[in-house]
Every structure is written in structure tokens, then in C-alpha cells.
Structure 1
Amino acid sequence: MEKTLVIVESPFQLLSAYEYASRYNSSIYDIVIVETGSKNNTQQMQETLAILGGDFYQSVSIIKRSCFFIFSILFKAIKSSKMNYKKILIGDYRSNYIRIIESRVNANTVVLDDGIALISSIHDIVEKNKSLISDTMISKLLSVLIRDVTRKRYSVFSMIPKNILLRAHSTTVDSYVNNDFSRIKELFSKKNDTRREHEVSKVCIIGSPLSDLNYLSEDVYIAALEQFIRFHDCMGNVLYIPHRRENPSKLDRISNELQVEVKLLSNPIEISVLQGEIYAETYISITSAALYSLSKMLQDKNFYHVYLNECYYSPNINVDVFEKAYDLLGTSTSRFVYE
């Protein structure tokens, strides 16, 4: 039986790996989880693995993201016959560490969903660009480890429709397969719906680290959400699910100023919703890919994305990626324009 190496850095990438492995179950899967420095991220991935179960993989390794990580994986790939893989599934093509490893493993590459981030990296995937994303001195030194990848086959396994993902590209990937979450939905289909009416929130906001990453100001981010809450008259009955990169001081502001309950999750929001940990009539976000994935998993719910015009973003920010994200969200969610 052929073997497949999976390298992921986030819970959502792990969900994508499960969906792929469940669909193509004629292979043996070895999973490498790369720690990003976020304790919450690592815990979520471990919890996610426990929920998904061990039937779809043979082994799991958790390794810190470092130069030692690169060399240890490369050493195993070169010296060990056990690393004779037919495919390598990677979760984030922007990751320098993953790019180095996948270029040196003699196997076809499948790029998994990483939400909206895949939109920003699709150009490099299509062009089979071997350069590293960062221009730091360390990246320049590490770039000598990357092999020429022009002859490798690159496939994309994504929830993002092909026409949106590859828009404005004259060339395409070697193969594209749509991720419809059918195996994820099937896994949780036997869960009983035991909610009580008083547990249902009117609105669930899916958080985004836009202000934390300096794409826009914290004031604009909070004001946009407040405008939606007041327009829909749901103040006091709102649940806020933060992204793992959002800082505590911002969450305190959101809790106090918007009168919302901030709820930290131990699993990806998709699992928490499908398991019944979260119930809401309406789900909203600004650019979170989870809003799109949930819209494909749930029936009879309302979904809104809050649209921000270009003027609200920080100077020198390339808003094209955000416009593509809005295009994606617009295919399955309603638009609320912040003014």
C-alpha cells in the first residue's frame, strides 16, 4: 500500500487532511504536526486528532518549527526507506519550513485548504515558484535547501471553487479537487441534536486577527461589528468566537463594548458547531474562511460577511486578497456593508 506524508500547522488544515484521507483511503498516512509557537493552536490540533480518531492515520509526530525541525525531517527523508512516499500533503504553501521539506521529498504534492490564505499563495503554487516567502537573511540562507520543483505535480484540494481560486491566472494547477466536507459531515451526522432553546445565541461572530496583524485598526474592526449588531438589534445575545491570534486586550474590549460573550474553543469552530457545543441562528465574520466552511455544512442558518471598503485598510496593504475573499464569501453568504 502506498504511503502519504501529511505536514500541517493548523486545526483547519488537519480537518482538510482528514477529509482527503477519508476520501482516498487506499494510502497509509503519516502526520507531522508543526508547532507554530501558539500553545492554543497545538492543543486544538491534539483535541481535533482525538475527536477524528486514529483510523485514518498510521503515525503522528509533533515537532517544533525550527531549523532543527527542517534538518531532522530532511535527514529522515534522505536516509530512511520508510520515508518513501507517493504523495506529500501540505497545509500552508507560504510556510518556509514546509516549502523546503516538500521540495526535497520525491513525491507529488497536494496543497490542502488553509482557508483564505490559500488565495494569497495560489500564484506561487501555479507558477511552481521555488523562492521562500520571507526576504530575511535566514530565509536567504535556507533557500539553498530548496530543490527545483518545476517538474513536480501540484494538486489542490480546496473548498474554494476553482473559478475563484484561479481567477486571473493564465495557467492552472496540475489537478484540482473540490473539498465538500462530505466525510466531516458524515462523521458527525449521528450526533443527536439535544440543544435547549435557552442555549441558542441569536448571533455568533467568528473572530478574525485583521487588526492584530495590522491590516486595519482595532477601532475599525470593533466599529464594523457593532454596526452589524445594532442594525440587527441583537445586542446582549451575541457569542464571539475568537481566532487564536487575537490578543486578550482586544477581546476584553469586544466583550465590554459590544456586550458579547467571548467563548474560547478547544476545537475548530466547525467541529464545535457540528458537535452541538455552539448554536446560533446567524453567523457573521469579516473575512474568516470558517464562515464559508460552515455555510457549506449547515442548513437553515443565516450567514453574513461584513464588507469593508478599501479606505478602511492600512496603507500599503494589498487589498486584492481581501476582495477575492469577499468574492468567495459572497457565493454563500449575504453581504453587510460597513459605512
Structure 2
Amino acid sequence: MKSVFLVKTPLQLLNAIEAKHYFKLSSGDCILIIMGDRKSQPQLLMLASDTQEWGKVVTLNNVNMFYGDPLDIISNSIVKKIQQLSLFKRSFFYVRRLNRISKYIGNAKYIFMGYTRYIYMNHFANITQHEKVILLDDGVGAIEYAKLRKQGVILEPNIRLKTRVKRYGKVFFQGVKGGEAENVTFFTAYDISVDKNDQVVRNDFSYLRSNVNALTVSDDVFFIGSPLSEVSIVSQENYFLYLNKIKKYFKNKTIVYIAHRRESPKKLELIKSELNLKVVLFDYPIEYQLASIGPRPKILASFVSSALDSCRLIFGDELKIISFTLDDIIDPYVEEIGAVYESYKSYTSESFNIVSEY
């Protein structure tokens, strides 16, 4: 019986690889469906190609909507050209493509979902018979999502009216079955408490940890950037104030700013010009980059990032990790970000520190 992995981001794919090995699934029985956007798609395809973990790799927008095996590459040049038109790459056609995949594979053993509240992933889980739905980490959102499920919250709090209307439109016009599963398994690196109907399986990155390469170690500090100002968790002005303080904190060291793909190009240019920091955008998730590609720093730092959790598990005492706390967090994110820092406190050690005064 096949297992299906639905991913939107490189980090979801990295966690999918860990899940595949944890649940001891053979490559031939695993179908990877890539649902990335313009920014994440190249990284997803590169990582999928490099790791060679899957029996089938399918880009959702390339699934044949009309006939034949939906998992095969379209050979008919006319049909291929038609389906490459921008019109047919709109999310409106996702349902038809997912329906064809579901009908073709029949029952699935496991369905792994990378983005817990992505309506199209939920749709696939709802139309496909399966033994279990397993949720993969994508950032620190698993902490909040587990809490909301425990509270019985179906829709995200503070969701915008426009987003809510668009969801109802997808249900009415596209036939999306976007309801969330009654019970799920969290495959997570976080210490979370779940509803009685849900389960937790701890992701300790054992597979990636067992394949860490001997790489060059850099004396530079790698600071993991974040789109905190882009999503209005802190203002951009305060974000730069924090970075300036961190620069002074590491006054005798060179800081390499690891950009997040969701950070605005304008902001990254200001980080270069105003703070005089070297800005780098990796082709791979940072966990894979540091474990398999290199170089690896002696110190890894950030404000809040899922990479701090995963790198703590992967590298242990070999990598010093620092989380810098944030003040002036904008509502409604105060509680959510506070919960992340609370989780960090549970594993502070000589190699993992939280710095509040800097």
C-alpha cells in the first residue's frame, strides 16, 4: 500500500525524509507530491533530486488532468503545452489533479501533510481512504496548532474576513473538502501536549544525524533571519534595532546573516548596507546545508526558528546555539512567540542558551 507525502516547503520535505525512515517505509511505496510556490519550488526539486528517497516525485501543477496515469510525465506534446498555460496552473485546478491522484492510488497507508491547515492537503486526506494522517513540522507552528486542536478550535483565531470568504468560495465552486481530520499524529521535534484523539511521535532527526558529514567548521556566527517584520510580529524598525544589538554582542566575530526566503529583498539590502552584514540565501534547508554541504559554524543564532530545535537535535554539543529574546512583539503574536521561548527554556544547557540582555 502506498504512502503519500504532500509538501509545500523545503523544511517540510526534510521532515518528510525523516518520517519516511522513522516509519520504515520503502522508497517504492512512497509518493511525493510537491505543492510549492514560485520561491520554494526550485529548492524542493533540488532537494528531492539530491536525496533520491521516493518511488514517484510529482509536481502538482504537472499532473495530467485529462487521462492516463496522473503520476507519469505527460508525453503528448500538445496536451503538455496546454497544461503548461498559466491558466491551468492556478489553484482552481488543484482539486481536479488531487482527485485524479486519489482515484488512481486508491487506499493509502499513511498521508503525510506538511502544512497542517492548507485546504488542498486536507482535501486530499478527506477524499483518500487511509490508515493515518501524520503532520510534519513546518516551523514552530506545530506548538500553536496542537494547542488549538486541544481547545477544539477549528479555524485559526483572528483569520481575516477576506481569507474566510475565499475558503468558502473554494468549497462552493471547486468542491474542496477542507475539513480537518478528527485524529492526527504529530511527527514533531517539539515537546507538545495534544488532544486525547491525537498522538505524538518525536522527530529526533536520527536519520540526518546518522549521515552528518565531516565538514569544514567556520569561525563565523551564522544568524538565521526571519520574516518577523514582514508578517508584523515586530516592526521593521525594532527588527533592525535588535540586529544592531546582536552585532555589538558579537563585536569580535563576523556575522553571516542567513536569509529566509520570505524576507523582502528590500529589507535584505538594508541589512547589507546599513548593518554591513554578509547576507546568504542557502539552496537547501539550513539543517541539510550544515549537515551535508557545509560549512558549519561554531555558533548558530536566531530569535525564534525551528532550525534551532532541529540543529540542537542533529548536532548536540558540537554546535553552540543562541536564541535572542524579543520585546515589543505585536498582538496577537505575544502568546504564540512566548510559547516558543518557553519551549526553549526546557532544554537550555552549555550548548543551548537564551539571551535576554544584549
Q: Which of 172, 175, 192 is the aligned partner of 2:214?
A: 192
Q: Percent identity?
A: 22
Say what the alpha-carbon RMSD is for the aligned residues: 2.4
- Give 1:154 shift: 1.0
* Residue identity matched to 1:285: S
Helix, strand or coil at the partner of 1:267: coil
**1:102 corresponds to 2:125:** yes
Whole-angstrom CA distance in 1 between matches of 2:152 and 2:115:
14
CA contact (8 A) 1:130 1:147 kept: no
- Give 1:206 shift: 0.4
Helix, strand or coil at the partner of 1:138: helix
Whole-angstrom CA distance in 1 between matches of 2:356 and 2:196:
33
Q: Which residue of 1 aligns with 2:323?
A: 305
Correspondence 1:1-339 to 2 at 5 A: 2-26=1-25, 28-38=29-39, 41-53=40-52, 56-64=53-61, 66-77=91-102, 79-80=103-104, 82-107=105-130, 108-126=132-150, 135-143=163-171, 145-146=176-177, 152-161=182-191, 165-166=192-193, 171-188=195-212, 191-193=213-215, 195=216, 200-234=218-252, 237-298=254-315, 299-309=317-327, 312-314=328-330, 316-330=331-345, 331-332=347-348, 333-337=352-356
C-alpha distance 147-318 of structure 1, shift in aligned 2 (>3 A): closer
C-alpha distance 271-185 of structure 1, shift in aligned 2 (>3 A): same
CA contact (8 A) 2:222 2:257 kept: yes
Is 294-303 or 16-25 further displaced after alignment?
Answer: 294-303
Helix, strand or coil at the partner of 1:273: helix
Whole-angstrom CA distance in 2 between matches of 1:139 and 1:14:
25
CA contact (8 A) 2:7 2:13 kept: yes
* Residue identity matched to 2:36: E
Whole-angstrom CA distance in 1 between matches of 2:21 and 2:306:
22
- Give 1:147 shift: 6.6
Q: Deviations over 1:114-171 (max 9, x none)?
A: 1202223224544676658664322013346327666x5411110001xxx22xx6x3
Whole-angstrom CA distance in 1 between matches of 2:125 and 2:232:
30
- Give 1:323 shift: 0.8
CA contact (8 A) 1:155 1:173 kept: no
Whole-angstrom CA distance in 2 between matches of 1:114 and 1:261:
26
TM (norm. structure 1) is: 0.85
Whole-angstrom CA distance in 1 between matches of 2:25 and 2:300:
37
Whole-angstrom CA distance in 1 between matches of 2:283 and 2:138:
19
Q: Give structure 1 regions of 4+ aligned residues with deviation exceeding 6 angstroms.
A: none
CA contact (8 A) 2:225 2:260 kept: yes
- Give 1:94 shift: 2.0
Q: Deviations over 1:46-75 (max 9, x none)?
A: 12112222xx32101112471211232024
**Paired positions, count:** 315
* Residue identity matched to 1:326: Y
Q: Deviations over 1:147-204 (max 9, x none)?
A: 7666x5411110001xxx22xx6x345321100001012233xx333x2xxx723311
* Residue identity matched to 1:120: E
Helix, strand or coil at the partner of 2:284: coil
Whole-angstrom CA distance in 1 between matches of 2:197 and 2:38:
31
Helix, strand or coil at the partner of 2:354: strand
Whole-angstrom CA distance in 2 between matches of 1:103 and 1:112:
17
Helix, strand or coil at the partner of 2:340: helix
Whole-angstrom CA distance in 1 between matches of 2:229 and 2:321:
22
* Residue identity matched to 1:50: S
TM (norm. structure 2) is: 0.80
CA contact (8 A) 1:29 1:57 kept: yes
Q: Which runs of 5+ in 1 are unaligned?
A: none
- Give 1:278 shift: 2.7
Whole-angstrom CA distance in 1 between matches of 2:228 and 2:180:
32
CA contact (8 A) 1:130 1:146 kept: no
Is 264-273 or 254-263 further displaced after alignment?
Answer: 254-263
